[in-house]
Each structure stands twice: as C-alpha cells, then as structure tokens.
Structure 1
Amino acid sequence: MTGQIAPPGWLTDLLAAYEQVLSELFWFAVGFGVVYLVSRLVLVPLATRAVRSRNRNNPTIETAAKTYLRVVLIGFAVLTGIIAAGYGRVLSESAVIIAALTFVLGIAGQQVFGSLVSGMFLVADPDFNVGDWIEWPGGSGTIEAVDFRVTRVRTPNHETISVPNTELTTNAITRPYGRDRYRLTEQVYVAYYEDTERALLELQQVVTTLDPVLDEPAPNTRIVELGENAITVQAEFWTDDPGNRDIQTIRSDFRRLVKRRFDEEGITLAPPSAQLLSGGLTVTDRTADAPDASGR
C-alpha cells in the first residue's frame, strides 16, 4: 500500500493564511451587509418618514436627513464589519493606525469636512429650501437637493449642476421672487431724440401681451439712466414658478416683440456709437458737359 505524500510545510502555511483571509473577508461582509441592509431597508425609511411628518413644508430637511443618515450608517456598517472580522482590538490599540487616520483626515478630508459643515448651514437656513429659485455669482436655477458635499441645482436650460456647498455659503445668494413667482428685468436703450414717454408706453404694451406675465404684481416701466449715448428704459414684470417656465424663452420673446413694436412705431433704439450720421449723397455725371478733344 502506497502512503500519501504530505504537502510541504510552506504550502500548508500558505493555505492556512488564505483560509484566514477568506474567513476575515467573510465575517467583514456579513457584519457590513447585515448593518447596511437593516439600516437601508428599515432605519432610513423610518427616520425619513419621521422627518417628513415633522417638516411637511420643508423638503430640504428631509433630503438632507436622508443623505447624512446614510453616510453615518455606512460608516457604522464598515466599523461593524471590521470588528466582526476580528480587527477591533487593532483599531483600539494601534497608535500607528490612529495616527495615520488622523493624518489622512487632516489633509485629504479638510475640504470634505468644510463642504459638510457648509451643507449643514444651508439645511438650517429657513430661506434655503428645495424648490426655491436662487441666483449666485456662478449661475442660477432651482434647488433640487442638498447633498453631503454639493447642492444640486436645475438651471434654466434644464441642466442639473452640482455646486459645492462652500460656494453657496461664501457668496451672496439672490432670490429675485416671492416664493411662487419670479421677477424679470429687461433694459432697452433709446436714442435721445426720441419721445421717451412714448417709448415707455410702448414697452408697457409689449409686456402686457406676453402670456406668462402675471397681472399681480403689475408690470412697470421706468427710466433708469441718462447715459452718455442713450436713455436706458427698464421693464420689470413677474412670472409664476420658474420651475414651470422657460425663463430664457420669455426673455427672448420679450426682446423680439420690443424690436418689432419699436420698428412699427418708428422708435429708434440707441445707435451703436456716440455719433449718428444722417443725410444723403448725390452723384452727378459731368462727362456730357465736358468739351471734346477739339475744344467744342
């Protein structure tokens, strides 16, 4: 009978090491998966429902609570997986790991923590809510969500952009509307020799013909500047929720109608330069009156 050949010692050690690694990965996955699934399927919906019931008129808190709760629960799931894999003692006793984590968080996580804190300030601001139309130095649009690092904004071109929270907290934010309406301001430059009162009247008539313009507040027109080369007149009017309107199309329609109306009424828009030349040029053919070669 032939005896079995035992594997060499190094192979036995290698298999044992692989078995230990696979065991640790298995328990990490079990610990992480259980906590993550329970939190995702049970805790997050319950917490979101509770926040929604207490803040029915403020969807910003609901979306922010869901985002931050998920981040915290993922961190807790990772920690649970590490402990289940048998590395809990290493985390609590290894000064090297603690120092490395502190260094990484201090260098790489500085901007992330800044965005997180900025996002918390935005959520706590009662005048900053999901669905609001805002303008800041980098653009304008409707707030869709306040996330962990960025705020998602839908632009007038129906594009969703991610704006860093720090940009919104460090810059001035304008809200040119009264919650459910949006104010549009358009300026037109009229030549000095034109009847300004008639220009204001025609501008008012153009505004009233636009379908999206609200009757209340009433549109108004005024002279805002006596410039060097032209008089600046301004039309101010309101439309409803900008989330339901194409603001750029409204502006384009207004400018198109102003140009057509002013052309029909003979009102000259401001010339492109400081001088406006006018007059005519007459060309006379004198060859018929000139003498021929014989002098006749």
Structure 2
Amino acid sequence: MTGSLSPPQWLIDVLSTYNQVLAELFWFVVGFGIVYLVGQTFLTPLVTRIIRSRNRNNPTIETAAKTYLRVVLIGFATLTGIIAAGYGRVLSESAVIIAAITFALGIAGQQVFGSLISGMFLVADPDFNVGDWIEWPDGSGTVEAVDFRVTRVRTPDNETISIPNTELTTNAITRPYGRTTYRVTEQVFVAYYEDTERALLELQQVVSNLDTVLDDPAPNTRVTELGENAVEIQAEFWINDPRNKDVLTLRSDFRRLVKRHFDEEGITLAPPSGQMLSGELTVTERPDGSTDSRATRE
C-alpha cells in the first residue's frame, strides 16, 4: 500500500481562512516590537540623560519624562504595527473608523486623560518636586514619583500610596518644607500660680540650647492664650534646610528639654486635672469612743 498522509480537507480550509489573519498579526507584532525595542534601548536612555543633565535639581521632570515617553512610544509602536499589518490605508481613508476610535477613547479614557493633563501641570509646577514633603486634605508624605495617572507618595509610616493626579490639582496642597528655612512653633502650658515671665525666660533658654536653631530670624517666646486651667506660652524658632532634618524628632527633642529644664527649675506645667483641690481633714473623738471625720474643701 503506497501513498502519503495528508491533512484533512477541513483543516486545510480552516488554515486557508485564517492564513491572512495570522500573517497580519505576525507583521503587527514585528512592527510593534521593532519600534518599541529600539525606542526603549536607545531613545529613552538618550532622552533621559539629556533631561537629567539639564535638570539636575529637578528629578520630577526626569521621572515624568520617562512615563510620558513610554506612552508616546507605545502609541507610535502600535501605529507602526497597524501599518505593517496592511491597515494603514483603512485608517487614512475611513472617517467612520477614526470617529469611532476617537469616541471610544473619549468615553473610556476621560479619567485617564484628565489624570495625564493633571500630571503635566504637576510636573510644570516649579514648587512641586520629587523629594518634597506635601500635605493635602487626606494625608501627607514625601513625593516619590509623578506617573501617567497617579502620584506616588511615601507617608511618615513608610507606606507608599498612589494618589490620582486630579486630586492633587483640584485640592489645596501645602508644602511646609518647600523653602530653605522653616519655622517650628511649639506650645507649652504652665500652671496659673507660676511666674509667667520667668517661664518665658526659661523657655527662651531651652530654645537657645538647640543646635539646629537659626540666630536669624531670632527665636522668640510669647503668651498666646489664658486658658481655663493653664497659661499657654509659645516658642517660635527657625531651622535651616528642613528637607534634610527630621522635624518630628526635633519637636520631640524640644519637648523633652522643656520638661527636664522646667522640672529642674521647679516650674509646674499644666496641672494633670481640670481642677486642683485643697483643704484639710479633721478627726474628732466622741464620748462613746467613736470618731467623726469632717473634710473641709476650698
């Protein structure tokens, strides 16, 4: 018995039907892959080096440029793949297809494009940089990167959160450490029966003992409020380059020094309770041998 095995006719029909589709898919992958690999291997590092050399003090532009360049590269690679697959004429001649794609992108990508535009505004803001400490209505932390859709922020608990760019551009952002100097304000509560003037002088001495405090502007102390149970006094002092200092640790050191110094000088801080009571206890012995105690409160 002679002859050769040949595939069934139905398989030949299926392969012939999808032959063109597979060929188009192959050329799409080839066109997309070549453009994307060349861009990632040569173009992105080159552009990144140029931007880094021109913006050494602004890492925000460098990280944002990588993100946006990747988006542009993917779009151009996709377009190249479509043309390589033989659909370039369809895109150029069919107004219906272009309108449908535009409509779909407008509906599905409304929030994405909004975040992209917001991210561009953040990158263009000279006072918004990677490494800055920012505060917004829902939290605070250090900016790590401005991406295509979100901004990554590291919180004081060392957690990384992703905030939509639109949230940062539509809300007020505070940059407490955005300048070369920063004012630290601390309140101390002193008991009413203490000498307030003496407490102010001793508080001024505590501030002067901190190494990180600047002489200009000079630190000062003042009475800020006569509270219900204590006198509130305040110390104000300035530090240099707050981004390189742990402000929370500085505040803690100041409070420790205040507590220790006031204890040494015999100055009582705010009483532990809302009211301080004083008086005496009298014990009287009755004829029958029992006792009667009476407390007098002032």
Structure-2-length-normalised TM-score: 0.81
CA contact (8 A) 2:63 2:145 kept: yes
Q: Match of 2:43? A: 43
CA contact (8 A) 2:64 2:147 kept: yes
CA contact (8 A) 2:127 2:178 kept: no
Q: 1:285 to 1:165 in 2, by over 3 A?
A: same
Counterpart check, 1:203 vs 2:203:
yes
Q: Secondary structure of the equivalent of 1:192?
A: coil
Shift of 1:152: 2.6
Q: Match of 1:74? A: 74
CA contact (8 A) 2:177 2:242 kept: no
Greater shift in the superposed pair: 198-207 or 116-125: 198-207
CA contact (8 A) 2:177 2:243 kept: no
Shift of 1:31: 1.3
Q: Secondary structure of the equivalent of 2:186?
A: strand
Shift of 1:158: 4.0
Which letter maps to 1:208? S
Q: Match of 1:132? A: 132
Aligned equivalents of 1:92, 1:283: Cα separation in 2 = 105
Q: 1:140 to 1:197 in 2, by over 3 A?
A: farther
Q: Match of 1:282? A: 281
**Aligned pairs (5 A) from 1:146-185:** 146-177=146-177, 179-185=179-185
**Aligned pairs (5 A) from 1:86-235:** 86-92=86-92, 98=98, 100-177=100-177, 179-235=179-235
Aligned equivalents of 2:49, 2:6: Cα separation in 1 = 62
Q: 1:291 to 1:246 in 2, by over 3 A?
A: closer
Aligned equivalents of 2:53, 2:175: Cα separation in 1 = 27
CA contact (8 A) 1:156 1:248 kept: no
Deviation per residue, 1:94-134 (Å, 9 max, x gap): 66754553444333322211111111112222222233333
Q: 1:177 to 1:2 in 2, by over 3 A?
A: closer
Q: Secondary structure of the equivalent of 2:182?
A: strand
Which letter maps to 1:153? V
Aligned equivalents of 2:3, 2:141: Cα separation in 1 = 80
Which letter maps to 2:173? I
Greater share of strand residues, 1 or 2?
2
Q: Match of 2:30? A: 30
Shift of 1:145: 2.5
Shift of 1:278: 2.2
CA contact (8 A) 2:52 2:62 kept: yes
CA contact (8 A) 1:142 1:243 kept: no
CA contact (8 A) 1:149 1:165 kept: yes
Q: 1:5 to 1:60 in 2, by over 3 A?
A: closer
Aligned equivalents of 1:272, 1:291: Cα separation in 2 = 40
Q: 1:164 to 1:210 in 2, by over 3 A?
A: farther
Shift of 1:255: 2.2
Q: 1:87 to 1:180 in 2, by over 3 A?
A: same
Q: 1:78 to 1:265 in 2, by over 3 A?
A: same
- Unaligned stretches of 5+ residues in structure 1: none
CA contact (8 A) 2:207 2:213 kept: yes
Aligned equivalents of 2:284, 2:22: Cα separation in 1 = 104
Which letter maps to 1:124? A
Aligned equivalents of 2:113, 2:155: Cα separation in 1 = 27
Aligned equivalents of 1:63, 1:55: Cα separation in 2 = 11
Q: Percent identity?
A: 77
Q: Secondary structure of the equivalent of 1:44?
A: helix
Deviating beyond 4 angstroms after TM superposition, the runs of 4 or more aligned structure 1 residues are: 17-22, 89-100
- Unaligned stretches of 5+ residues in structure 2: 291-298
Aligned equivalents of 1:217, 1:145: Cα separation in 2 = 34
CA contact (8 A) 1:180 1:240 kept: yes
Aligned equivalents of 1:108, 1:188: Cα separation in 2 = 55
Deviation per residue, 1:194-238 (Å, 9 max, x gap): 322222222222223334434444332222233444332222233
Q: Secondary structure of the equivalent of 1:268?
A: coil
Q: Secondary structure of the equivalent of 2:283?
A: coil
Which letter maps to 2:80? T
Q: 1:232 to 1:182 in 2, by over 3 A?
A: same
Structure-1-length-normalised TM-score: 0.82
Q: 1:13 to 1:95 in 2, by over 3 A?
A: farther
CA contact (8 A) 1:32 1:78 kept: yes
CA contact (8 A) 1:176 1:183 kept: no
